Amino acid sequence: MNDTDLPKLSGRLPSTLDDGAVDDPRFRAAEDGIRALLAAIGEDPGRDGLRDTPARVVRAFAEYCAGYAQDPVALLRKTFDEVSGYRDLVILTDIDFVSHCEHHLAPIVGRAHIAYLPSKAVVGISKLARVVDAYARRLQIQERMTAQIAGCIEAGLAPSGVGVVVDAEHGCMTLRGVNKRAPRLRTQAFTGRLADDPRLQQRLLDAIPTTW
Ligand SMILES: Nc1nc2c(ncn2[C@@H]2O[C@H](COP(=O)(O)OP(=O)(O)OP(=O)(O)O)[C@@H](O)[C@H]2O)c(=O)[nH]1
Ligand SMILES: [Zn+2]
């Protein structure tokens, strides 16, 4: 799978206030935008309690979106090939993440579950969680994030197959709009042997705890 949505690695807001970010004109413009938003909801952006809020919000969004600065495939560069012929599924479940929807900038809170069939090397399992975060920390829709994670593992490890299942609650449905208490969206992507073999898919699905 081609990852056509690899991030632009420049032109983003810095994710911290270090290294001169305070002087970045985009940072200042974004703060003005938050001040305008505060005024639009009937607040006084000049009152004491809100004076530092625009800068905080911009910093927070830079942090929520820090994944744009990462190259997720590069996270999988270090692999281990001394696995004594291990060829079965590697399954990592319940990788929690927070993302933000690109429609409302509302939080998406969920868990990703990943399986892959190694062809020769395996990767440190923390790297799979790092890949999830690199895509979650962007503005997303869940379907795209799911496909991106699968595509990244495919590109980074060239395994015999990948399965990614994502379960998440969307703030834009639970906190506003239709206001449903806890609808959970499941998306999944399978490649290679997992795309061809429903029994391999089922092994990943069976490994996912039913509660969270
Ligand atoms: N498929 C998909 N839809 C999403 C995701 N996140 C949010 N949405 C939906 O995106 C849609 C945006 O719809 P619009 O009609 O443009 O926006 P809206 O008027 O705010 O819609 P409501 O949420 O129904 O009030 C909504 O139906 C959201 O529930 C996602 O990850 N995947
Ligand atoms: Zn939304």
Which tens digit of pLDDT belongs to each residue from 101-146?
Answer: 999 999 999 999 999 999 988 999 999 999 999 999 999 999 999 9
Q: Taking the CB of residue 192, how many other CB atoms lie within 10 A of it?
A: 20
Q: Is the CB of 106 under 6 A from ligand 1?
A: no
**Residue 196 pLDDT > 90, yes or no?**
yes
ipTM: 0.93
> Given pLDDT bands bounded at 50, 70 and 90, which one contains residue 192?
very high
Ligand nearest to the CA of 177: 1
**107 and 61 in contact (C-beta within 8 Å)?**
no
145 lines ligand 1 (CB under 6 A): no
DSSP letter string, 117-139: E-SS-EE-HHHHHHHHHHHHSSE
Q: Does 104 belong to an annotated binding site?
A: yes
pLDDT score of 98 more than 50: yes
| pLDDT tens sequence across 66-96 | 999 999 999 999 999 888 889 899 999 999 9
Per-residue pLDDT at 212 exceeds 80: no
CATH topology of domain 70-207: GTP Cyclohydrolase I, domain 2 (3.30.1130)
Ligand that lies nearest to the alpha carbon of residue 185, given by its number in the listed order: 1
Q: Is the CB of 179 under 6 A from ligand 1?
A: no
Q: Tell me: the pLDDT tens digits for 20-66?
A: 556 788 899 999 999 999 999 999 999 999 999 999 999 999 999 99
Residues 174, 180, 182, 188, CA torsion sign:
negative
pLDDT over 60 (residue 6):
no
Q: Please give the average per-residue pLDDT across 156-184, as a whole number.
A: 96
At residue 169 the predicted structure's pLDDT band, cuts being 50, 70 and 90, is very high
CA–centroid distance, 107 to ligand 2, in Å, is: 8
In the chain, CATH 1.10.286.10 covers: 21-67
pLDDT above 90: percentage of residues in the chain: 81
Task: Note whether 104 and 174 are within 8 A (CB).
Answer: no
pLDDT confidence of residue 15: 56
Residue with tokens 């090939």: 81
CB burial of residue 139 (10 Å; 0-12, 13-18, 19+) = middle
Start-end ranges of CATH 3.30.1130.10 in the chain?
Answer: 70-207
Query: For residue 211, what pLDDT is reported?
Result: 74
pLDDT computed for residue 3 by the predictor: 44
Beta strands at 107-117 and 185-191: parallel, antiparallel or unpaired: unpaired
- Confidence bin at 8 (pLDDT 50/70/90): very low
196 ligand 1 Cβ < 6 A? no
Write down the mean pLDDT value for the chain. 91
Superfamily of domain 21-67: GTP cyclohydrolase I, N-terminal domain (1.10.286.10)
3-state DSSP call for residue 198? helix
Residue 100 annotated as part of some ligand binding site: no
178 CA distance to ligand 1 middle (Å): 10
Say yes or no to pLDDT of 18 above 70: no
